Amino acid sequence: MATTQRMVVIGANAAGMSAASQARRLKPVGELEIVVLERGGYTSYSACGIPYWVGGDVAGVDDLIARTPEQHRERDIDLRLYTEVTALDPDGRRVRVRGRGDGGPPGEWLGYDQLVIATGARPLRPELPGIDAPGVHGVQTMEDGRALLEALERIEAARSAGTPRRAVVIGAGYIGVEMAEALIRRGHEVTVVDRAEQPMTTLDPDMGRLVREAMCRMGIETVTGATVTAIRTGEDGRARAVATEDTEYEADIVVLGLGVRPETELAREAGLPLGGSEGLLTDLAMRVRGREDIWAGGDCVEVLDLVSGRTRHVALGTHANKHGQVIGTNIGGGYATFPGVVGTAVSKVCDLEIARTGLSEEQARALGLRFTTVTIESTSRAGYYPGAAPMHVKMLAERRTGRLLGAQIVGREGAGKRVDVAAVALSAGMTVEQMTALDLGYAPPFSPLWDPVLVAARKAAAEVRRAGAH
């Protein structure tokens, strides 16, 4: 008779719950007991949906929840909310657990046969005077989203219709620009402040400048090259302005959109292997390196970047979900791997679509690569077709080999998802010359005669040939 094994999962979001669900699909209760420990009160929610909830595109919090705690429990998953893990003991194969009502440390030990670490990420919070003042909001968790939304509604109700409501977003990366859109949609005057010279530093500066110009046209004040030095508070102790080295920006509300770091304190304390960005290091089956019975996935790990050959931290729900699937399959007795990423990301701010994949110029240079870059301007549809919108495509190709290294797109409707063509080409190791022959869908409502990605590939191929002569 087989003994029942226990799978313990830390974190009940995308990676953790995917792992639990997939393992349950493959193994019945008699063979595998599944315990999920979650610090907060929500499960399986779309954190990436929070800006759209705040902006009013998504009606309610329930829409963001793919599966409720009850739904998980019905599938024989022992889900424990408001339950914190305070320590890992890999050699003893146990974790220390403290429930909400359990008072102080240290909590009880819970043994496991297989441990899944899916602790996610924590938002970056610079150590600034006033950072903890009321009126300063993060947007990482559902609780954050709810608090921000309530604060916004209070501000909006208190002010008369004609009075400007001012919001300052710190950080002009993905979260920052998405939050800027959300706040603009709610009728706030929005200022985005970032230390970098251009918004969206995952793009090259020339493409970031296009984003900045578009943001300005949308009425979003975009302050770059500016380091925030403090959050100024009023007599009531609430945030009232964001100060930089040069000036300060009035704010009824301050939103932190600075990105995230892997939440791996427990793993570090337990001596588990971390990479340069503090993400857990795993093998391709998502097993923590050097450990037979510990797995990790989602925003707390580093993944292999297939273009650079290095591991890095990429916090995206779509990857987290795949990690969970892989872990659940492997614990469930199957076989699956997560081969890695090519660095694809897509976002939008109002009607501007922004996408990138592969290496930026800076990343390529840091790897010692020599490359050519081209940028082309084309349209999303045939030029004569209604709604044809301009788009810019930048492409990087390695010299001599002509291998595609990366692509960046800034445009309007229909621009963003075109990055997928470059993402697949990167996965396949295609050269830009090979890409020029790709058989992409063409009809006037969908594309010009040459798809913009092919126009860029064609120009890049010509540049590679030209550079090859030297």
Residues interacting with a copy of itself, by CB under 8 A? Answer: 14, 46, 48-49, 52, 57-58, 63-64, 66, 174, 316-319, 321-322, 337-348, 353, 355, 357, 382-386, 414, 416-421, 423-428, 430, 434, 436-447, 449-451
Q: Name the minimum Å distance from CB 215 to a copy of itself.
A: 17
Which lies closer to a copy of itself via its Cβ, residue 79 or residue 453?
A: 453
Buried b (16+ CB within 10 A) or exposed e, 194-222: bbeebbbbbbbbebbbbbbebbeebebeb
Structure tokens at 60: 């309610």
Rounded CA separation 80/15 (Å) = 16
φ, ψ for residue 416, nearest 5 deg: -55, -55
Helix or strand holding residue 33 (H, E): strand 32-37
* Closer to a copy of itself by Cβ: residue 130 or 358: 358
Smallest distance, a copy of itself to C-beta of residue 451, A: 8
Q: Which is nearer to a copy of itself, 373 or 447 (CB)?
A: 447
- CB closer to a copy of itself out of 241 and 430: 430
Whether 23 contacts 32, CB under 8 Å: yes
Which helix (H) or strand (E) segment is 154 a member of? helix 142-158
Q: Please say whether the beta carbons of 223 and 211 come within 8 A.
A: no
Residue 441 Cβ vs a copy of itself, minimum distance, rounded to whole Å: 3
Whole-angstrom distance, CA of residue 258 vs CA of residue 337: 31
Closest C-alpha to 146, from 11, 261, 45, 17: 45
Q: Which residues are catalytic?
A: 48
Helix (H) or strand (E) holding 14: helix 14-26
* Beta carbon of residue 291, minimum distance to a copy of itself (angstroms, whole number): 23
Give the shortest CB-319-to-a copy of itself separation in angstroms: 8
Comparing CB distances to a copy of itself, the nearer of 128 and 350 is 350
